[in-house]
């Protein structure tokens, strides 16, 4: 552990990223899709033969662009910074790898991001103030810049799932950046890009339904009808193409990782295994409902389409997006960077070394750990002979090795998952995780437990105290009285 551990009790730090990320994806993909929606709609309005309708469309688009500016410029930006905050604390090793590999990728991303933020503000504030053709051009610049941000971030996101053999060949040598383009255009790059483009278009339509649902259908029937119908059409490409793109995407994921998808049919374990299958069902059902609601409530009855209908579509889309992102995360387990770095920051080729030297040998952040104790000793002071030494070391190992996926008593709670086992039994489970045999079912989603024999004992002591602590029982009993 080169970094201190960020402890989020009950929820687990992974969910902090998850919650921010789902919120961010909904908005940032809208920023891309909506960035195209606005100039395309504006161009359509400018070419309308009916001048009244054209003016009505443009007024409505100006309103929509205000909503767009606030949502993407404020909430999209803040949540984007939030993701950096959360991944930096939760996965410092992986974040460092991403930064080092993609320095220029990030630099390009931020240039386009600045262009995006500037042009969206110019676009909103110059309706009716500059020549309409120039205004439309500003819209196109915005659209181009926001597509560029997707094109770049997609390379970095897909890299984490499938870094590709070329990159893996140089990983750890210090020359990783020399294969920048191989890492960038990695095996899942293209299917993921097309998938995300479809999602962006759908979100553009869905968010446009929110603003157009608020048009008064009695007063502006023609406007509302034409705008709602046109917005629904933005959802169409997704539902035609997404199933095929998903299959293409999955085909590019290495077999070993795809194994997680078949978990639903497996018989091992307590429940996880059907998680992916359940998630897939949720995605299918919510997406199908979005189509149904969009067709029957919006396309067929645009005049009566109201804000609560639009919110329902948005909520369903949120669930589908969230489930999709969650499934993508699950698919990557047990790695944070495919086949190179486990979710807990341990690099695959370091496992043997850590087993030899001990997990805490280089951890300078651990109280009573060897690094700190050496330093104290070198100052001529005898380190405290803490009677709970094994426990505190075990806790540090738990946090470092298990804490990225488990909490003690909240999300994936080890207290519950280990309930009913005594110390010997817990010890043999951990030893099995350390052996990490080729046929171990846990390999599909858990990294090996790395460390010395002493580390296995310390972790066992700590977990045993959580599960079987006799002291804990009276306290609990007293608390419930
Ligand atoms: C990459 C994420 C990840 C890491 C790191 C991880 N686990 Fe797990 N673990 C899982 C998942 C996913 C499950 C399945 C959870 C469920 O069934 O709800 C699981 C299940 C378990 C179970 C229940 C097994 C069973 O057969 O029911 C135990 C016990 C466990 N983990 C212990 C640990 C310990 C100890 C560590 C640290 C040395 C650890 N895990 C590290 C992801 C992880």
* CA–CA gap between residue 232 and residue 211 (Å, rounded): 13
Q: Whose CA is nearest to atom 7 of ligand 1?
A: 446
Q: Does ligand 1 have an atom closer than 6 angstroms to the CB of 272?
A: yes
pLDDT above 70 as % of the chain: 93
- Residue 432: other Cβ atoms inside 10 A: 14
- Residue-wise pLDDT for 120-147, tens only, equals 999 999 999 999 999 999 999 999 999 9
- pLDDT for 266 equals 47
* CA–CA gap between residue 276 and residue 274 (Å, rounded): 6
Q: Does ligand 1 have an atom closer than 6 angstroms to the CB of 429?
A: yes
- Residue 392: other Cβ atoms inside 10 A: 17
Classify burial at 173, counting beta carbons within 10 Å of its beta carbon; exposed 0-12, middle 13-18, buried 19 or more.
exposed
Distance 299 CA to ligand 1 centre (A): 46
Distance 460 CA to ligand 1 centre (A): 14
Q: Whose CA is nearest to atom 39 of ligand 1?
A: 402
- Whether residue 273 is predicted with pLDDT greater than 70 in this model: the reply is no
Q: Does ligand 1 have an atom closer than 6 angstroms to the CB of 90?
A: no
Closest by CA position to 241, among listed 190, 189, 197: 197
Q: Does ligand 1 have an atom closer than 6 angstroms to the CB of 263?
A: no
- Whether residue 238 is predicted with pLDDT greater than 90 in this model: the reply is no
* CA–CA gap between residue 224 and residue 201 (Å, rounded): 20
- The model's confidence at residue 377, banded by pLDDT at 50, 70 and 90, is confident
Q: Does ligand 1 have an atom closer than 6 angstroms to the CB of 401?
A: yes
Q: Does ligand 1 have an atom closer than 6 angstroms to the CB of 333?
A: yes
Q: Which atom of ligand 1 is nearest to the CA of 433?
A: 38
Q: List C-alpha distances in Å: 417 to 68, 112, 263.
A: 45, 46, 18
Residue with tokens 């009285």: 481
* CA–CA gap between residue 389 and residue 161 (Å, rounded): 38
Q: Does ligand 1 have an atom closer than 6 angstroms to the CB of 267?
A: no
Closest by CA position to 176, among listed 189, 159, 188: 159
Q: Count the alpha carbons within 13 Å of 330 in the hemisphere toward its beta carbon.
A: 23
Q: Whose CA is nearest to atom 9 of ligand 1?
A: 446
Classify burial at 108, counting beta carbons within 10 Å of its beta carbon; exposed 0-12, middle 13-18, buried 19 or more.
middle
What average pLDDT does the segment 103-118 reach? 96
Q: Does ligand 1 have an atom closer than 6 angstroms to the CB of 405?
A: yes
Q: Does ligand 1 have an atom closer than 6 angstroms to the CB of 269?
A: yes
Closest by CA position to 124, among listed 217, 33, 34: 34
* CA–CA gap between residue 378 and residue 189 (Å, rounded): 51
Q: Does ligand 1 have an atom closer than 6 angstroms to the CB of 352?
A: no
- Residue-wise pLDDT for 346-357, tens only, equals 999 999 999 999
Q: Does ligand 1 have an atom closer than 6 angstroms to the CB of 270?
A: yes
Distance 446 CA to ligand 1 centre (A): 6
Q: Does ligand 1 have an atom closer than 6 angstroms to the CB of 447?
A: yes
What average pLDDT does the segment 13-33 reach? 92
Omega of the bond leading into 334 within 30 degrees of 0 (cis): yes
Q: Does ligand 1 have an atom closer than 6 angstroms to the CB of 67?
A: no
Q: Count the alpha carbons within 13 Å of 180 in the hemisphere toward its beta carbon.
A: 11
- Whether residue 188 is predicted with pLDDT greater than 50 in this model: the reply is yes
- Whether residue 472 is predicted with pLDDT greater than 70 in this model: the reply is no
Distance 186 CA to ligand 1 centre (A): 29
Q: Which atom of ligand 1 is nearest to the CA of 398?
A: 37
Q: Does ligand 1 have an atom closer than 6 angstroms to the CB of 334?
A: yes
Q: Whose CA is nearest to atom 26 of ligand 1?
A: 269
Classify burial at 451, counting beta carbons within 10 Å of its beta carbon; exposed 0-12, middle 13-18, buried 19 or more.
buried
Q: Does ligand 1 have an atom closer than 6 angstroms to the CB of 274?
A: no
**Higher-pLDDT residue of 260, 105:** 105
- Whether residue 476 is predicted with pLDDT greater than 60 in this model: the reply is no
- pLDDT for 473 equals 45
Distance 132 CA to ligand 1 centre (A): 59
């Amino acid at each position: 552990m080169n970094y201190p551990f960020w402890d989020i009790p009950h929820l687990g730090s992974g969910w902090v990223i998850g919650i921010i990320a789902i919120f961010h994806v909904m908005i940032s993909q809208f920023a891309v899709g909506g960035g195209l929606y606005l100039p395309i709609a504006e161009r359509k309005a400018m070419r309308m033969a009916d001048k009244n309708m054209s003016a009505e469309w443009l007024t409505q688009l100006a309103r929509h662009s205000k909503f767009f500016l606030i949502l993407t410029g404020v909430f999209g930006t803040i949540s984007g910074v939030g993701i950096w905050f959360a991944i930096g604390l939760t996965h410092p090793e992986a974040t460092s790898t991403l930064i080092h590999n993609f320095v220029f990728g990030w630099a390009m991303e931020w240039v386009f991001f600045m262009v995006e933020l500037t042009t969206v503000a110019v676009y909103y504030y110059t309706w009716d103030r500059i020549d309409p053709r120039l205004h439309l051009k500003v819209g196109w610049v915005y659209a181009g810049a926001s597509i560029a941000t997707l094109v770049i971030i997609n390379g970095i996101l897909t890299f984490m799932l499938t870094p590709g053999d070329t990159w893996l060949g140089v990983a750890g040598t210090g020359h990783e950046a020399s294969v920048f383009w191989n890492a960038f255009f990695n095996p899942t790059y293209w299917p993921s890009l097309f998938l995300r483009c479809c999602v962006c278009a759908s979100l553009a339509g869905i968010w446009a339904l929110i603003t157009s649902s608020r048009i008064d259908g009695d007063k502006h029937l023609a406007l509302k009808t034409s705008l709602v119908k046109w917005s629904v059409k933005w959802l169409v490409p997704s539902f035609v193409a997404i199933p095929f793109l998903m299959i293409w995407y999955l085909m590019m994921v290495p077999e070993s990782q795809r194994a997680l998808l078949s978990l639903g049919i497996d018989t091992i374990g307590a429940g996880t295994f059907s998680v992916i299958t359940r998630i897939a069902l949720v995605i299918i059902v919510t997406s199908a409902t979005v189509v149904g609601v969009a067709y029957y409530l919006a396309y067929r009855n645009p005049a009566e389409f109201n804000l609560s209908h639009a919110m329902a579509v948005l909520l369903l889309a949120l669930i589908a997006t969230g489930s999709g992102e969650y499934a993508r995360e699950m698919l990557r387990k047990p790695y944070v960077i495919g086949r190179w770095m486990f979710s807990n920051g341990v690099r695959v080729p370091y496992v043997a070394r850590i087993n030899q030297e001990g997990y805490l040998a280089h951890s300078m952040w651990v109280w009573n750990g060897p690094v700190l104790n050496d330093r104290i000793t070198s100052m001529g002071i005898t380190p405290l002979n803490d009677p709970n030494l094994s426990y505190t070391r075990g806790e540090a190992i738990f946090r470092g090795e298990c804490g990225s996926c488990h909490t003690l008593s909240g999300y994936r709670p080890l207290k519950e998952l280990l309930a009913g086992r005594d110390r010997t039994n817990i010890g043999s489970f951990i030893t099995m995780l350390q052996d990490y045999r080729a046929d171990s079912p846990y390999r599909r989603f858990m990294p090996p437990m790395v460390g010395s024999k002493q580390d296995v004992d310390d972790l066992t002591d700590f977990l045993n105290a959580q599960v079987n602590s006799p002291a804990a029982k009276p306290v609990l009993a007293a608390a419930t009285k």
